[in-house]
Chain A
């Protein structure tokens, strides 16, 4: 066995330690059993969840918690669908009461077709949530200045988009993601835009602490297989980042020695 890849390579956010660098969403799956199987295959320890009204007309309908146990996975409640700081605070206060934790994912989106992070509203909501005692992992634009400001406000993780939500286009702006990583003192995660395993690998090779994936797994033809692929992709990217890649060069360099050839 090699000793290096086996070394503890966990990452920490808000005082919690995680071995897996893949966080998965629980939305968009065809059914709850598939959700559970895919999350299991992904190896994720943290999952994002949404907070919604219970269906009063079908109170015994199966619930996410019955399939994805909050005692096994760290639930990361999100603010999807909230367009104001007040909505975000109300939603996450309810999540805190339902689950008893304060680590949350803040996302305030602008309108379709971009669903791009609404940064003024994100700042306002982040301030309100931090004041209310939440530990905020924040979905944001790939803007190094905005990212730094969110960190200075007290956000515990910065989560720039790689590409628009659900687009599957991969990391469109690696330069900006790299700049955010280089200046950040808190974990940086690519959230949104991953389409397939190599997009996750690429994000990890840039030096991200973790990657958040939902649509690419949930909407794959075989979500369980894609979840396993994402796990491998994230691990490969992390190992490659740690290993340190060779420089890119504009000319060939022979792989075999040029001396000692027979004549």
Chain B
């Protein structure tokens, strides 16, 4: 990796989306317009600890789930 711009295709919540890389979890959440404090992220079926959002670099083909709390019983 030389850090130059690349196109990443990510599966986010079941949708294929393209992003300019390199991209971290923080960058992705930001690019999606979401509030980092109100979501949780799973990357390839593994939890991404909140403390590592800025450090985890996403790879082409990664599968992510981004969730939040909604009303429920």
Contacts and interface: CB of A to CB of B under 8 A. Distances in A.
Nearest to A212: B73
Interface residues of A, number: 37
A199 B61 CA distance: 52
Contacts of A70: 69
How many chain B residues sit at the interface, stated as a range, is 20 to 34
Interface string A140-181: 000000000000000000000000010000000000000000
Nearest to A51: B67
B70 A60 contact: no
Nearest to B72: A50
Contacts, number: 105
B3 interface: no
Interface in B25-49: 32-35, 38-42, 45, 47-49
Nearest to A29: B71
Contacts of A80: 72-73
Looking at B13, B45, B67, the one whose CB has the most chain A CB atoms below 10 A away is B67
Looking at B45, B65, B70, the one whose CB has the most chain A CB atoms below 10 A away is B70
Interface in A238-256: none
A63 B72 contact: no
B34 A52 contact: no
A63 B38 contact: yes
A54 B67 contact: yes
Nearest to B69: A49
B15 interface: yes
B66 interface: yes
B40 A94 contact: yes
Interface in B42-69: 42, 45, 47-50, 65-69
Interface of A: 25-29, 32, 35, 48-54, 56, 59-60, 63-65, 70, 75, 77-78, 80, 90, 93-99, 165, 212, 214-215
Given A25-B71, A52-B70, A98-B67, 20 more contacts: A26-B72, A27-B71, A48-B72, A51-B69, A53-B13, A53-B65, A56-B15, A56-B66, A59-B33, A63-B35, A70-B69, A78-B72, A94-B47, A95-B40, A97-B40, A97-B41, A97-B48, A98-B40, A99-B69, A214-B73
11 contacts: A28-B73, A35-B71, A48-B73, A50-B73, A51-B40, A51-B69, A53-B14, A54-B66, A63-B38, A90-B42, A98-B68
